[in-house]
C-alpha cells in the first residue's frame, strides 16, 4: 500500500498524483509560486477556491441564521440599523454586527455606514420559490453530517431518511399531514424545475402527457400554461393527489395509485418522471421503467428531469449537494445522465436524448422513446 492508500492493483500510470499535484505537494513550490508573477495569481485563486471549500459550512450556517432571525425579510421591507435588527431579533448588538457583516460578505446585503440594505442576491434568495423552505430544513442534513467519516462509512442512522416517508412506499405516505408537508415543499421548489424542463424538452408531437409521481400537480400546471392543447393526467400516491385538485383545473385527470404496486394507466403518449428516479434504488427504478414502457404506445415518449451527477466530469453542485442528500435519504441515488441512459436502454427504450442542462443545480433533462411498432413486437 502506498501513502495515498492505492493498492498494488492500480496501474503504474495512474498510481499517484499527476505532475501538477506532485509539485503542489511540495511546500517549497508554494513559496516559489508566491514569488513568480503569473504563477502568483494562479496560486492565489487556488487558495481562494480551497478556502471556499474549507469554510462552506460556516457560510451556510450564516445564511440559516439570517433566515431564522428574519434579517433578510426585514431588509426587504426597509433599510435598518444594526441596533434595530439586533433588538428585533433579540440578538446582542455586537453579535448582530458580526452576522450582518457576514451577510454583506456573502453579498446578500450591503452596508452604508451603519445602515443595512438588501442586495439583488438577497432579494433573489427570498423570491426563488421553495428556496427559503429548503434552507430551513437543512438542519436535518447538517445533523446527519456532524460525523462525516462515520456517515460515509455507513455507520450512522440519518435523520433525513425519516423526513420523506413517502419514499418508502404507499404505506409511508398514508399520513395526510406528512404528505402535505413534503408535497408543499416539492410544489414550491417545482417552479424552476418546470421552467427549465419546459425549455429543454421538445413537446411537439405529444398529445397526452401523464406525470407519474407528479405530486400535487405543479409541473402539470406549468405544462398546461405552456401547452394548453395537451391532455394531462396526474398519477401519484393517494395521500398526495388528495391535495392536487385545488391546484389543477377540472380538465386534468387525477389517478391515485402506486407505481410500485399498480400497472400505470394506459392512454398517454408521453410520460414524465420529474425528480422521481433519484428517490429510489436501481431495482425500483428498473421496475418503474418497465411499468412506464408497458403503459406507453409504440413510439411513446418518456421525459426524465431531475438533478443529475456529472458522472465522469464531477459537477460542483450536484456531486456534492444532491449526491450526499440522496445518500442520507438512504433509498435513492443521484445518477448521472449516462447511468440513467443505461437503465433506459435495459428497459428497452430507444432514441435516448440528453438535453443540455441550463442550471445543473436545478435540473437536467433526458428523453427517450418506446420502440416503434415493428421493433416493439420483435422485443415482446
Ligand atoms: C440592473 C441592475 C443594475 C442590477 C440588477 C442586478 C440583477 C440583474 C440581479 C438579478 C436578480 C435575479 C433575477 C436573480 C435570480 C436568481 C435566481 C433565479 C436564483 C436561483 C437560485 C436557485 C437555487 C439556489 C436553487 C437551489 C435548489 C435547491 C437547494 C434544491 C433542493 C432540492 C431538494 C433537496 C430536493 C429534494 C427532493 C427529494 C427528497 C430528493 O426527493
Ligand atoms: C421528489 S417528489 C417529486 C414530485 C414532483 N414530480 C416534483 O418534481 O415536484 C417524488 C414524488 O414521487 C411520488 N411517489 C413516490 N413513490 C411513489 C409511488 N410508489 N407511486 C406513485 N408516486 C410515488 C411522491 O409521492 C412524490 O410526489
What are the pLDDT tens digits along the chain (380 aa)?
343 444 455 555 556 889 888 988 998 999 989 889 999 999 999 999 999 999 999 999 999 999 999 999 999 999 999 999 999 999 999 999 999 999 999 999 999 999 999 999 999 999 998 899 999 999 999 999 999 999 999 999 999 988 876 655 545 456 667 677 777 778 888 889 999 999 999 999 999 999 999 999 999 999 999 999 999 999 999 988 987 888 888 899 999 999 999 999 999 999 999 999 999 999 999 999 999 999 999 999 999 999 999 999 999 999 999 999 999 999 899 999 999 999 999 999 999 999 889 999 999 999 999 998 644 443 43
Question: Does ligand 1 have an atom closer than 6 angstroms to the CB of 203?
Answer: no
Atom of ligand 2 nearest to the CA of 218: 9
Question: Does ligand 1 have an atom closer than 6 angstroms to the CB of 182?
Answer: no
Q: Which of 96, 127, 158 is the last residue of a domain?
A: 127
Please report, in angstroms and rounded to a whole number, the separation of the first and last CA atoms in the chain.
Answer: 51
Q: What are phi and psi of 157, to 5 degrees?
A: -120, 85
- Give distance in angstroms: CA of 236 to centre of ligand 2: 6
Residues 41, 174, single domain; the answer is: no
In a domain, 148, yes or no: yes
Using most ligand atoms within 8 A of CB, pick from 237, 242, 248 the residue to mutate for ligand 2: 237
User: pTM of this prediction?
Assistant: 0.90
Q: Residue 169's pLDDT is what?
A: 55
In a domain, 233, yes or no: yes
Residues 323, 256, single domain; the answer is: yes
C-alpha cell at position 300: 411513446
In a domain, 25, yes or no: no
In a domain, 303, yes or no: yes
Tell me the DSSP string of 333-367: ---BHHHHHHHHHHTT-EEEEEEEEEETTTEEEEE
Q: Residue 170's pLDDT is what?
A: 44
**Domain of 186: which CATH number?**
3.40.50.150
Residues 237, 302, single domain; the answer is: yes
Query: 213 CB contacts (<8 Å, ≥6 apart)?
Result: 235, 236, 259, 273, 274, 275, 276
176-188 vs 190-200: helix crossing angle, rounded to 10: 50
- Count structural domains, the chain: 2
Residues 68, 187, single domain; the answer is: no
In a domain, 199, yes or no: yes
**Domain of 43: which CATH number?**
1.10.10.10
Residues 265, 181, single domain; the answer is: yes
Q: Residue 16's pLDDT is what?
A: 80
Give me the interface pTM, i.e. the ipTM. 0.94
Q: Which of 101, 127, 153 is the last residue of a domain?
A: 127
Q: Domain limits at 300?
A: 144-370
In a domain, 380, yes or no: no
Amino acid at each position: 500500500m502506498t501513502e495515498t492508500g492505492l493498492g498494488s492493483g492500480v496501474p503504474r500510470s495512474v498510481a499517484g498524483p499527476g505532475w501538477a499535484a506532485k509539485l503542489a505537494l511540495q511546500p517549497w513550490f508554494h513559496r516559489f509560486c508566491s514569488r513568480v508573477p503569473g504563477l502568483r495569481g494562479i496560486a492565489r485563486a487556488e487558495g481562494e477556491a480551497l478556502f471556499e471549500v474549507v469554510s462552506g459550512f460556516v457560510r451556510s450556517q450564516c445564511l440559516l441564521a439570517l433566515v431564522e432571525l428574519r434579517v433578510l425579510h426585514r431588509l426587504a421591507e426597509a433599510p435598518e440599523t444594526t441596533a434595530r435588527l439586533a433588538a428585533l431579533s433579540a440578538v446582542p448588538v455586537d453579535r448582530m454586527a458580526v452576522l450582518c457583516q457576514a451577510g454583506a460578505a456573502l453579498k446578500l446585503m450591503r452596508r452604508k455606514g451603519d445602515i443595512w440594505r438588501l442586495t439583488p442576491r438577497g432579494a433573489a434568495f427570498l423570491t426563488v420559490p421553495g428556496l427559503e423552505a429548503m434552507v430551513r430544513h437543512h438542519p436535518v442534513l447538517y445533523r446527519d453530517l456532524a460525523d462525516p467519516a462515520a456517515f460515509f462509512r455507513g455507520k450512522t442512522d440519518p435523520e433525513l431518511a425519516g423526513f420523506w416517508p413517502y419514499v418508502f412506499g404507499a404505506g409511508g405516505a398514508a399520513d395526510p399531514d406528512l404528505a402535505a408537508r413534503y408535497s408543499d415543499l416539492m410544489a414550491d421548489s417545482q417552479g424552476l424545475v418546470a421552467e427549465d424542463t419546459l425549455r429543454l424538452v421538445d413537446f411537439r408531437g405529444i398529445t397526452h402527457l401523464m406525470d407519474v409521481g407528479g405530486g400535487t400537480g405543479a409541473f402539470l400546471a406549468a405544462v398546461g400554461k405552456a401547452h394548453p392543447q395537451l391532455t394531462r393526467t396526474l398519477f401519484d400516491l393517494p395521500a398526495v393527489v388528495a391535495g392536487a385538485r385545488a391546484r389543477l383545473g377540472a380538465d386534468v385527470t387525477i389517478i391515485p395509485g402506486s407505481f410500485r404496486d399498480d400497472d400505470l394507466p394506459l392512454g398517454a403518449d408521453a410520460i414524465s418522471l420529474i425528480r422521481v428516479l433519484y428517490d429510489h434504488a436501481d431495482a425500483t427504478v428498473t421496475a418503474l421503467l418497465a411499468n412506464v414502457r408497458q403503459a406507453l404506445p409504440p413510439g411513446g415518449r418518456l421525459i426524465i428531469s431531475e438533478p443529475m451527477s456529472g458522472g465522469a466530469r464531477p459537477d460542483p453542485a450536484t456531486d456534492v449537494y444532491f449526491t450526499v442528500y440522496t445518500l442520507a435519504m438512504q433509498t435513492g441515488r443521484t445518477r448521472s445522465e449516462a447511468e440513467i441512459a443505461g437503465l433506459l436502454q435495459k428497459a428497452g427504450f430507444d432514441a435516448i436524448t440528453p438535453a443540455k442542462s441550463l442550471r445543473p443545480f436545478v435540473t437536467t433533462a433526458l428523453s427517450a422513446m418506446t420502440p416503434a411498432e415493428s421493433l416493439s413486437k420483435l422485443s415482446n
